[in-house]
Chain A
Amino acid sequence: MAFAAFAPTTTPPTDASGTAASPRRRSPVALLLLLPGILYLGLFFLAPLVSLILTSLQAPSEFGDIGQYSYAFRWENYVAVIQQYWPHILRSFGYALIATVLALLFSYPLAYFIGVTARRWPLLQSLMLVLVIAPFFISFLLRTLAWKQILSDESFLVTSLKAVSLLGPDAHLTGTAFSVIFGLTYNFIPFMTLPLYTTLERLDLRYLEAGNDLYASPVQVFRTVTVPLSMPGIVAGTLLTFIPAAGDYINASRDFLGGADTQMIGNVIEANFLVLLNYPAAAALSIILMTVILVMVGVYVKRSGTEELL
């Protein structure tokens, strides 16, 4: 009763302790209910992962053709791919980081508007949400191809930019780091906006009023109250953007927005698997990518103080 007014913010901690204290934690029924999920995970996640690790350690078959490998423990595979592809690894994380920051900068005001400002107009709120989700109705590949058209050398945009000398006569937009990062940002904005929207939509405006009442200017209220209270959305959104963006191979591909100098680790893995048939190298790169992402995400979540998301 006394806590009624605090319901929105008190629920997460109470829930957590409530489950932990539950005496029926280890009941066989719960295990039984989990069984399909565990089987699914074992079959479609753990088994391929083990297979991937084994592949990454394979050595070329002594008498085989190209693409034929036998099981071994060749740790040198890892050293070799890092030596050969470290620029791609760095580039991947650099692009993904820039794209994530840009997506956050675009999405936060948008999510704030939909979740807070537009609360008074539920119709506008729903309409804007539909607009955020609308791109999903068209295939990811088609949308990226459309951007390739828009940014191509013959396009209206590029010819106009050249006409006003904002772009040099020999410059391109496609095939540059700009277009790859642009594509990544564009494609992942909905994944950033939706989690941000869900936290901001529940933001209790009375906290902002309290901040205002306690001598904090609107900018200070934003920094000291709004941002910390929307941290779960920020963390969820950046993870949903950064992780897939780091492994993305569509935007950076030469068939889409990328060029020879913009290859990301995803493109390298794709080429090694499908073109060069160098399976151990591709597998080793995949494992490296996964490990680096896991470590980075772990540190990030730990530092942002939102462990309950993991």
Chain B
Amino acid sequence: MAAGAFAERGADLELVGIQKRFPGFTAIENLDLTIPAGSFFALLGPSGCGKTTTLRLVAGLEDPTSGRILIGGQDVTTQKAFQRPVNTVFQSYALFPHMTVLENVAFGLRRRKIPDAVGRAHEALRLVELDHLAARKPVQLSGGQQQRVALARAIVNRPALLLLDEPLGALDLKLRRQMQLELKTIQEEVGLTFLHVTHDQEEAMTMADTIAVMNKGRIEQLGSPEQLYELPRTAFVANFLGQSNLFTGPVVGETTSMISVDVAGHAVIVPKSRSHRHGGTVSVGVRPEKLSLHREQPPTDAGRNLLGPGRVIDVSFTGVSTQYLVVVPGIGTLVVFEQNRTFGPVGGEGEEVWVSWHVEHGFGLDDDPADDPKFAADTDTQSIAAQRRAALVTELEEA
């Protein structure tokens, strides 16, 4: 039977030196992670980054190649899935098709021989507002209702840790928003520790207290949503979480609080406190909504970085803001979001513009400028080709 007492509140999750190798590839390379009790933690990354494998390791559905998993300080590495005080809301929900909604929800309680399983199951169904459908079979429910049953089936057990494997993936936008809100409310009500795996950055940002961005089996950066958005550490994070304009160049000047980076002849100033590197070659970034467009060259201002002149090559209206693509010779294409506070665009296609931003809004990355196209999404053809090539080269070297 399931070991020990089940926490009424959530428990800490600790992953120590976790590594997972499958035949042919390494899904997770040396992962260390601590998730404090009661938090809503999101593992964010593109498909194939190892986030779902991490979740399955915690649930006990996979065994780590090496490393230890601790829940509430207790080592559960050798425990089987059914012995761990953990429940999962699966991406496919995996509701048992041969049981009614009520039997599905009561399943975990019955296995643990908890008294009044049916009463508790009804209570959990009331929490997700589905008690009136208790007698139905899962196939008779809509996608959103199934998702809520899956959630009720997991939280009714009061697990120390609730794992969510992209549970909102199959829902349409409106339902997603509703579910996100509901999940957050439930978490606040029952106070469990939530570990949420998703590839949707917006979902992670709106729901989680702490986000870990994963890429290629490693955690790239961990922090609050604001931290990750305002001060990304790597180009991957800067581009996976929202959009970024990135420029690379050598550090040419330094004051006590600022560094100056030479980007194709333009001096770009970044505060030292917002840059992970202070010397050598540095990648500097700025978010598109922090940029301002000017139709005439603005007067030089020590507090603002200025790039230009450039040319607007595309204008797209998105409602709240308008997105401009600006080509600056020697630098490349910049993305600029301008709030639609006035009618009509700031500049039309083909117009000559200057781009400026407050020096306090820039950030400096920790990345080494490398050969592979790291500014692009990890899953585009170019970077997959580059990864294949790198893998082939190492294979040839090993042979």
How near does chain A come to B237, taking the closest CB pair, in angstroms? 30
Which residues on A sit within 8 Å (CB–CB) of B2?
Answer: 215
Cβ-based interface call for B61 (8 A): yes
Q: Report whether A9 and B107 are in contact in the complex, using a CB–CB cutoff of 8 Å.
A: no
Q: Give A206 to B170 CA distance when docked, in angstroms.
A: 16
Q: Report whether B82 and A206 are in contact in the complex, using a CB–CB cutoff of 8 Å.
A: no
With A6-B139, A10-B139, A209-B81 as contacts: A214 and B153 at CB distance below 8 Å = yes
Which residues on B sit within 8 Å (CB–CB) of A291?
Answer: none
How near does chain B come to A226, taking the closest CB pair, in angstroms? 11
A64-91 interface (Cβ within 8 A of B) = none
Which residues on B sit within 8 Å (CB–CB) of A213?
Answer: 59-61, 81-82, 86-88, 90
A1-20 toward B: CB 8 Å interface, digit per residue (1/0)? 11111100110011000000
Which residues on A sit within 8 Å (CB–CB) of B309?
Answer: none
Binding site secondary structure of chain A: helix
Q: Give A228 to B96 CA distance when docked, in angstroms.
A: 10
Q: Report whether B86 and A5 are in contact in the complex, using a CB–CB cutoff of 8 Å.
A: no
Partner of B80, one of A1, A2, A212: A212
Q: Report whether B170 and A215 are in contact in the complex, using a CB–CB cutoff of 8 Å.
A: no
Contact-size category for A? 20 to 34
Cβ-based interface call for B112 (8 A): yes
Interface centre among B96, B143, B146, B171 (most CB of A within 10 A): B96
Cβ-based interface call for B108 (8 A): yes
Q: Give A215 to B2 CA distance when docked, in angstroms.
A: 6
Which residues on B sit within 8 Å (CB–CB) of A214?
Answer: 82, 87, 107-108, 111, 153, 157
Which residues on A sit within 8 Å (CB–CB) of B108?
Answer: 214-215
Interface centre among B1, B80, B82, B87 (most CB of A within 10 A): B82
Cβ-based interface call for A210 (8 A): yes
Cβ-based interface call for A207 (8 A): yes
Which residues on A sit within 8 Å (CB–CB) of B191?
Answer: none
Interface centre among B95, B111, B112, B146 (most CB of A within 10 A): B111
Q: Report whether B96 and A3 are in contact in the complex, using a CB–CB cutoff of 8 Å.
A: no
Q: Report whether B96 and A207 are in contact in the complex, using a CB–CB cutoff of 8 Å.
A: yes
Which residues on B sit within 8 Å (CB–CB) of A13?
Answer: 139
Which residues on B sit within 8 Å (CB–CB) of A206?
Answer: 90, 92, 94
Q: Give A4 to B112 CA distance when docked, in angstroms.
A: 32
Cβ-based interface call for A220 (8 A): yes
Partner of A207, one of B82, B87, B94: B94
B1-37 interface (Cβ within 8 A of A) = 1-2
Q: Give A278 to B304 CA distance when docked, in angstroms.
A: 112
Q: Report whether A216 and B82 are in contact in the complex, using a CB–CB cutoff of 8 Å.
A: yes
Cβ-based interface call for A116 (8 A): no
Q: Give A236 to B146 CA distance when docked, in angstroms.
A: 30
How near does chain B come to A219, taking the closest CB pair, in angstroms? 10
Q: Give A221 to B80 CA distance when docked, in angstroms.
A: 13
Cβ-based interface call for A217 (8 A): yes
Cβ-based interface call for A289 (8 A): no
With A13-B139, A213-B86, A214-B107 as contacts: A5 and B81 at CB distance below 8 Å = no
Cβ-based interface call for A225 (8 A): yes
- Closest chain B residue to A205 by CB distance? B94
Q: Report whether A215 and B139 are in contact in the complex, using a CB–CB cutoff of 8 Å.
A: no
Q: Give A216 to B82 CA distance when docked, in angstroms.
A: 6
Q: Report whether B96 and A5 are in contact in the complex, using a CB–CB cutoff of 8 Å.
A: no
How near does chain B come to A93, taking the closest CB pair, in angstroms? 29
Cβ-based interface call for B48 (8 A): no
Q: Report whether A229 and B98 are in contact in the complex, using a CB–CB cutoff of 8 Å.
A: yes
Which residues on B sit within 8 Å (CB–CB) of A228?
Answer: 98
- Closest chain B residue to A8 by CB distance? B97
Which residues on B sit within 8 Å (CB–CB) of A6?
Answer: 92-93, 97, 138-139, 146
Q: Give A83 to B244 CA distance when docked, in angstroms.
A: 93
With A2-B144, A215-B157, A220-B111 as contacts: A225 and B96 at CB distance below 8 Å = yes
Which residues on A sit within 8 Å (CB–CB) of B153?
Answer: 214
Q: Give A214 to B95 CA distance when docked, in angstroms.
A: 11
How near does chain B come to A217, taking the closest CB pair, in angstroms? 5
Partner of B82, one of A9, A14, A215, A231: A215
Cβ-based interface call for B172 (8 A): yes
Cβ-based interface call for B91 (8 A): yes
Which residues on A sit within 8 Å (CB–CB) of B146?
Answer: 6
Q: Give A211 to B82 CA distance when docked, in angstroms.
A: 8
Q: Report whether B91 and A5 are in contact in the complex, using a CB–CB cutoff of 8 Å.
A: yes
Which residues on B sit within 8 Å (CB–CB) of A215?
Answer: 1-2, 82-83, 108, 111-112, 157
Which residues on A sit within 8 Å (CB–CB) of B96?
Answer: 207, 210-211, 225, 229
B145-163 toward A: CB 8 Å interface, digit per residue (1/0)? 0100000010001000000
Which residues on B sit within 8 Å (CB–CB) of A217?
Answer: 1, 80, 82, 111
Which residues on B sit within 8 Å (CB–CB) of A225?
Answer: 96
Which residues on A sit within 8 Å (CB–CB) of B138?
Answer: 6
How near does chain B come to A17, taking the closest CB pair, in angstroms? 11
Cβ-based interface call for B178 (8 A): no
How near does chain A come to B94, taking the closest CB pair, in angstroms? 4
| 15 A/B residue pairs, CB under 8 Å, sorted by A | A1-B170, A2-B144, A6-B93, A207-B94, A210-B94, A210-B96, A211-B96, A213-B59, A213-B81, A213-B90, A215-B1, A215-B82, A215-B111, A225-B96, A231-B98
What are the nearest 5 A-B pairs in CB distance?
Answer: A2-B143, A5-B92, A210-B94, A214-B108, A9-B97
B residues whose Cβ falls under 8 Å from a Cβ of A: 1-2, 59-61, 80-83, 86-88, 90-98, 107-108, 111-112, 138-139, 142-144, 146, 153, 157, 170-172
Inter-chain pairs besides A215-B111, A231-B98, 7 sampled, C-beta below 8 Å: A2-B170, A2-B171, A207-B94, A211-B107, A212-B61, A214-B157, A215-B83
